[in-house]
């Protein structure tokens, strides 16, 4: 099974489609064909079963009527008093007068003779005396020596039914002498239970069992006696004895007419049997329906062969059609292989409006974007190289500047101008942080150190003091942030919020946790903004409103927003909250580098009232 799966997986797509289509075509056809030919074979069998059952039922009615006829004829002879008296006198050896014979002839023999002649199915009803002390009166009364010529008289216990014997009572008898007989042999008893005569009611086997002698193709019958003897038309070809035994062995032991279907010796038979208790045997009719069944099988084989040929033709045409339908797919696949080999100038042509066409269009657009991205990457690499060169140049220039500032600081300290010394120190740190080339992000605490030096220099410019208040947890101080992303916010707060009021004020910086994010709030107590100005600033930061030109155009905050998006994604960035004449708050959301490190004591900050963020 695994081997077949592996083979199927390794086939081309058009072959897989062809296989699936042919498979799902042949399965219902196969099921339909199986049901159809099973029904056809069953109909052939059922039709012959019904036919044989009907035929056997007719045979039963006819045989029962004939048996009753023979029994009644025998009883009629037994009840004849004149016959009984003649037989009794003959058996006792008494002399019978001519008058008695004449009277017996005129009254008894005539009536018995009419009974036999009125039943054309009867061959004869004969009475044999116990001895030869009688005058034979045909066709009724016969001497005992005549009886001894009959074959059945040679059997021990010949009373009852005797089958398949020839009439040998008269050697020169010309009437049906060669016909086989079935006879009911009945003793005539006197008052002392002595046999004084024998009655033979005879009928030809053909009259009793006409089905044994019918010449019907593939159909034959036989009579099986309880003694184990078989009786059939000997003029026909004799049935195989083994087949007869096999048929008899397959017959259920039932007392009613039964019709069954059996397969024997690679042949198909419908067997109908009728137990005849009066005859101590069973009449069996057999029909060989092998030809009918084989005809169905031949039709089935032709159908299967036709379906195989049709499926092969269907497979070839389906494969061609599927291959044609997938031609564009193969063109796309070929183009992708060229791309894999480095050829990005591939263009998939003739893209239609179907799914394959859409795929080709999307691949063309993807290749264009890849080429554009590769160009951008190349430009970025060139810019990065140039930046590295400039950074090296800046480092060279910075050494000179740092040395000069260090000299100025020493001169200020010698002259005890400590304010100037501190200012120079802050300026040096600020320049060192600004000019230091960093390819990645910096820590929040590094950015705050830069802001502190920046605030120290800013306070030299004004007559008033701007205080920087910090409330940032240690864990937030260790988070990464793009370099120079907080200082522009401080600068923006001073230039646009605090300068105009020109008095001592504060800038608050606070760190908060929000799930797996952290928020740095920068709040100034400057002039604030109206809701309309806040909305315009938000649109400028989002890039939905032009921010070029003029002072206070929001370009600094937009740059911060863009850099955070580039570093962490569009889910992060800045939000603004402000109230005219009161404050302006900028909230910077960045992801936690290690959110699992938040301590329980820090979680209380999450439950703060922070409706401005929502």
DSSP symbols for 74-131: HHHHHT-HHHHHHHHHHHHT----HHHHHHIIIIIIHHHHHHHHT-TT--EEEEEESS
Q: Which residues neighbour 521 within 8 Å (Cβ) at sequence distance 6 or greater? A: 508, 509, 510, 511, 512, 585, 586, 587, 588
Number of neighbours of residue 319 by Cβ within 10 angstroms: 18
Q: Strand 517-524 to strand 505-514: parallel, antiparallel, or no bridges (unpaired)?
A: antiparallel
137 secondary structure, DSSP code: B
SS3 sequence, 166-221?
ECCCCCCCCCCCCCEEEEEEEEEECCCCCEEEEEEEEEEHHHHCHHHCCCECCEEE
Answer left, alpha or beta for residue 120, where phi above 0 means left and psi between -120 and 50 means alpha.
alpha
- For the chain, the distance separating the N- and C-terminal CA atoms, rounded to the nearest angstrom, is 59
Inter-axis angle of helices 327-340 and 355-414, to 10 degrees? 30
Report all structural domains of the chain as residue ranges with CATH numbers, in order of start: 50-288 (no CATH), 455-607 (3.30.565.10)
* Among candidate residues 466, 470, 502, the one with its CA nearest the CA of residue 486: 470
What is the reported pLDDT for 167? Answer: 87
| DSSP assignment of 443-492 | EHHHHHHHHHHHHHHHHHH-SS-EEEEEE--HHHHTSEE-TTSSHHHHHH
**222 by DSSP, 3-state: which?**
strand
pLDDT means over runs of 10, the chain (614 residues): 66 74 85 90 91 89 91 92 90 86 87 87 91 88 90 86 87 62 92 91 91 86 86 74 72 76 85 87 89 91 90 84 72 76 73 71 80 78 60 49 64 71 71 61 89 83 87 92 88 86 89 92 90 89 69 74 87 92 92 62 43 33
What is the reported pLDDT for 241? Answer: 65
Identify whether the C-beta of residue 363 lies closer than 8 Å to the C-beta of residue 336: yes
Kindly state the tokens that stand for 242.
Answer: 């083994």
CA 483 – CA 518 distance, rounded (Å)? 17
The residue with tokens 């190349």 is 378
Kindly state the tokens that stand for 504.
Answer: 């001592």
* Adjacent-strand bridge partners of 268: 263
CA 431 – CA 454 distance, rounded (Å)? 10
* Among candidate residues 105, 115, 178, the one with its CA nearest the CA of residue 135: 105
CA 219 – CA 212 distance, rounded (Å)? 10
* Among candidate residues 198, 144, 150, 155, the one with its CA nearest the CA of residue 170: 150
| DSSP assignment of 329-376 | HHHHHHHHHHHHTT-TT-------SSHHHHHHHHHHHHHHHHHHHHHH
Q: Which residues neighbour 348 within 8 Å (Cβ) at sequence distance 6 or greater? A: 331, 332, 335, 360, 361, 363, 364
CA 476 – CA 478 distance, rounded (Å)? 5
What is the reported pLDDT for 613? Answer: 33
Q: For residue 377, count CB atoms less than 10 angstroms from its CB and return exposed for 0-12, middle for 13-18, buried for 19 or more.
A: exposed
Backbone phi, then psi, for 254, in 5-degree steps? -120, 160
CA 591 – CA 593 distance, rounded (Å)? 6
Taking CA atoms, 582 is separated from 19, 494, 575, in Å, by 77, 14, 17
Q: Is the dihedral of CA 236, 239, 244, 247 positive or negative?
A: negative
């Amino acid at each position: 099974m695994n081997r077949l799966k592996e083979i199927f997986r390794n086939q081309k797509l058009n072959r897989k489609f062809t296989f699936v289509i042919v498979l799902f075509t042949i399965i219902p056809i196969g099921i339909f064909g199986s049901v159809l030919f099973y029904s056809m074979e069953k109909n052939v069998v059922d039709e012959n079963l019904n036919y044989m059952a009907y035929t056997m039922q007719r045979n039963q009615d006819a045989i029962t009527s004939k048996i009753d006829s023979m029994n009644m004829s025998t009883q009629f002879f037994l009840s004849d008093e004149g016959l009984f008296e003649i037989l009794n006198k003959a058996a006792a050896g008494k002399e019978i007068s001519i008058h008695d014979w004449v009277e017996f002839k005129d009254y008894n023999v005539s009536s018995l003779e009419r009974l036999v002649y009125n039943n054309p199915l009867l061959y004869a009803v004969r009475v044999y005396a116990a001895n030869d002390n009688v005058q034979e009166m045909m066709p009724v009364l016969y001497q005992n020596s005549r009886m001894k010529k009959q074959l059945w008289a040679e059997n021990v216990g010949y009373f009852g039914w005797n089958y398949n014997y020839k009439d040998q009572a008269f050697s020169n008898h010309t009437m049906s002498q060669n016909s086989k007989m079935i006879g009911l042999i009945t003793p005539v008893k006197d008052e002392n239970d002595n046999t004084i005569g024998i009655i033979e009611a005879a009928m030809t086997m053909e009259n009793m069992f006409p089905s044994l002698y019918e010449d019907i193709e593939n159909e034959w019958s036989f009579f099986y006696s309880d003694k184990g003897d078989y009786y059939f038309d000997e003029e026909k070809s004799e049935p195989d004895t083994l087949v007869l035994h096999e048929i008899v062995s397959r017959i259920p032991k039932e007392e009613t007419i039964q019709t069954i279907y059996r397969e024997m010796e690679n042949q198909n038979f419908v067997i109908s049997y009728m137990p005849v208790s009066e005859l101590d045997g069973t009449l069996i009719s057999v029909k060989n329906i092998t030809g009918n069944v084989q005809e169905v099988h031949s039709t089935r084989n032709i159908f299967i062969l036709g379906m195989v040929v049709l499926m092969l033709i269907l497979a070839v045409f389906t494969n061609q059609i599927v291959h044609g339908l997938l031609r564009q797919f193969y063109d796309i696949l070929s183009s992708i292989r060229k791309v894999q080999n480095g050829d990005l100038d591939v263009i998939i042509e003739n893209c239609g409006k179907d799914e394959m066409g859409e795929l080709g269009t999307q691949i063309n657009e993807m290749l264009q974007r890849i080429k554009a991205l590769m160009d951008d990457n190349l430009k970025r690499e060139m810019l990065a190289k140039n930046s590295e060169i400039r950074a090296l140049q800046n480092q060279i220039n910075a050494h000179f500047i740092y040395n000069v500032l260090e000299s100025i600081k020493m001169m200020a300290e010698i002259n005890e101008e400590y304010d100037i010394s501190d200012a120079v120190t802050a300026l040096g740190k600020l320049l060192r942080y600004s000019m230091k080339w960093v390819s990645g992000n910096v820590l929040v605490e590094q950015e705050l150190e830069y802001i502190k030096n920046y605030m120290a220099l800013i306070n030299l410019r004004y007559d008033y003091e701007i205080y920087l208040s910090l409330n940032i947890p240690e864990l937030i101080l260790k988070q990464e942030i793009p370099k120079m992303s907080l200082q522009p916010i401080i600068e923006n707060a001073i230039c646009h919020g605090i300068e105009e009021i020109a008095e001592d004020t504060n800038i608050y910086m606070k760190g908060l946790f929000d799930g797996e994010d952290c928020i740095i709030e920068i709040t100034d107590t400057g002039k604030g903004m109206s809701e309309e100005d806040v909305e315009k600033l938000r649109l400028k930061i989002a890039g939905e409103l032009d921010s070029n030109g003029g002072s206070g155009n929001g370009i600094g905050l937009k740059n911060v927003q863009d850099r955070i998006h580039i570093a962490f994604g569009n889910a992060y960035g800045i939000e603004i909250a402000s109230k005219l004449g009161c404050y302006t708050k900028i909230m910077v959301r960045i992801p936690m580098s290690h959110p699992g490190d938040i301590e329980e004591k820090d979680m209380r900050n999450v439950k703060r009232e922070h409706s401005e963020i929502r």
